[in-house]
Chains A and B, each alone.
Chain A
Amino acid sequence: MQSMEAGSQGDLDAFDRHVGADGKVEPQDWMPAAYAKTLVRQISQHAHSEIIGMQPEGNWISRAPSLRRKVILMAKVQDEAGHGLYLYSAAETLGVSRDELEQQLLDGTAKYSSIFNYPTLTWADVGAIGWLVDGAAIVNQIPICRCSYGPYARAMVRICKEESFHQRQGFELMMALSKGTDAQKRMAQDALNRWWWPSVMMFGPPDGESVHSMQNMAWRIKLFSNDELRQKFIDMTVKQAEALGLTIPDPDLRFDEASGHWQVGEIDWDEFWSVVKGHGPCNRQRLAHRRDAHEAGAWVREAAVAFAAKERARSARKAA
């Protein structure tokens, strides 16, 4: 990898100018080691989030209350697995292996989105996740379609198309519930109550506390700040909640005439950091589930390798 070679100050300046002028970076181009490292971290965290994200929604596949909802949910969870694969491939263009990245997830050194450390307690959570979590993911990811690193940007174009489909399906599920029986309406409201704040926190800590932001903005890995993206999500979602006839669980929520934006009350960042540190309701469960699947599948992967070796030996004998 050329990116591994230390560049001169001239290389660095040229890179900054190229990226600053909205130029794209491709795997074969020289890039600063820190740029590659940041991308590997960000892309792999995103890939891990897709893979772990299969669990909370997968939890309701067996009980989906209609066959139509069942196939929609199955296809959605399958899409998320596919997103994980595109993203691992994008990360591999930076010289890391998927095995290495998966190992980091399994041994708990890699992070993934904290949102998936909350439990899905009712069927309405499937709707709330599609509507809010995929909704927040889209707000986060649409700008990344224009980020400086080519393979990441291209993976994101494909992913965003599917995420917006998921978001619409989630919203439609919430609509069916909120137009339904009293029990269904209560279920929808309860799901919104539990998923609202974690979704708002999906954009990460407030701009003042965000460690990597400045350099990432300069490198065009990040195009908007956490707070800008969060605001966009809030404005969009408040209107949608109104259309659903559901109440955002925030007594301080108000429309600010001066800025033209909805303002939320205080965000509980202690909760955010506590979940990031591993103390969310499902951190241990999600990781244990992934490890179990990985360990239970070891003999299958070994058999595939052994069979491939036998086949190679057989065709070598035939050729000889």
Chain B
Amino acid sequence: MAAAAEQARSKADDADLFEVALRLGDSALILGQQLSGWTSHGPTVELDIALQNHALDLIGQARLFLDYAGRLEGKGRDEDKLAYFRQAGEFRNCLLAEQPNGDFAQTMLRQLFYATYARALYAGMEAEGEGELAEIAAKAEREMAYHVRHAGEWVVRLGDGTKESHKRCQTGLAALWPYVHELFMADEIDQRLIAAGILPAFEDVKVEWMTSVSSVLERATLAIPEDDWMPSGGRQGQHTERLSYILGEMQSIARSDPEAKW
């Protein structure tokens, strides 16, 4: 196992692996942070608990990815140093993760889009890759499969529920759809990791995503918006205005005393 892991790593540059671990860890962290904002605000106690479960899974995944990234980097940064002591421009999360919760429809759509992407990506990483990153992906894949089911059921229920819930879904869909495209844009780092067999081909992830999401949207009687705006850059550190607010809140206590242990 250790030898196989070494081999997998030797095929890819540590700097590239660090970058991909940050991208995955930051997306999970920012999405989990936002989802946790639903606590005590859920439409029912049961949904409150379900959303907290999703948030717990995501922050758990973020910890694994960031811890791995920190060890790979070898500069003594642990999960907390990475989560609490980087500026917005140093975050590598996808733009979808930093989109606001909005109403429950928008939150469920965001969750469906992200979870379907992450599940397909992790499944590919697990199948092709070796070593620690593939192990984290395998664990996360099982969790995301559940998020896909749960969010999918709710999108169908809300899309095909009442007039109001349908309208809210369609509004949420219009707000989020532009941020989907970035998930499938491979930059040079991604391409090197795809070539090394660490990441699956993004076209394959996209096909799987489109198949799965379209079937949910169809059952939900929702229409994919006609929109050619495709903002991107989050995974390279170019974010929306919103991220610095999310971080401002999340990092406030930790930054009040960088030496303190909590």
Contacts and interface: CB of A to CB of B under 8 A. Distances in A.
A231 interface: no
A69 B262 contact: yes
Size bin of chain A's contact surface: 35 or more
Interface in A50-89: 51, 54-55, 58, 61-71, 74-75, 77-78, 81-82, 84-85
B262 A297 contact: no
Contacts of B249: 62-63
Contacts of B165: 299-300, 302-303, 306
25 contacts: A62-B250, A63-B253, A64-B253, A67-B29, A67-B79, A67-B83, A70-B36, A71-B59, A74-B39, A74-B52, A74-B55, A75-B56, A77-B39, A78-B53, A78-B56, A81-B48, A176-B261, A181-B257, A181-B259, A292-B41, A293-B40, A293-B42, A297-B47, A299-B168, A306-B162
B10 interface: no
Given A61-B39, A65-B84, A85-B46, 20 more contacts: A55-B40, A62-B36, A62-B37, A66-B262, A67-B29, A67-B66, A74-B59, A77-B40, A77-B52, A176-B262, A180-B261, A180-B262, A293-B40, A298-B43, A300-B165, A302-B161, A302-B164, A303-B161, A306-B161, A307-B158
Contact of A74 (B29, B56, B254): B56
Interface in B99-121: 103-104
Nearest to B161: A303
Contacts of A296: 41, 43, 103
A123 interface: yes
Interface in B30-70: 33, 36-37, 39-49, 52-53, 55-56, 59-60, 62-63, 66
The dominant DSSP class at the B interface is helix
Interface of B: 29, 33, 36-37, 39-49, 52-53, 55-56, 59-60, 62-63, 66, 79-80, 83-84, 103-104, 156-158, 160-162, 164-165, 168, 249-250, 252-254, 257, 259-262
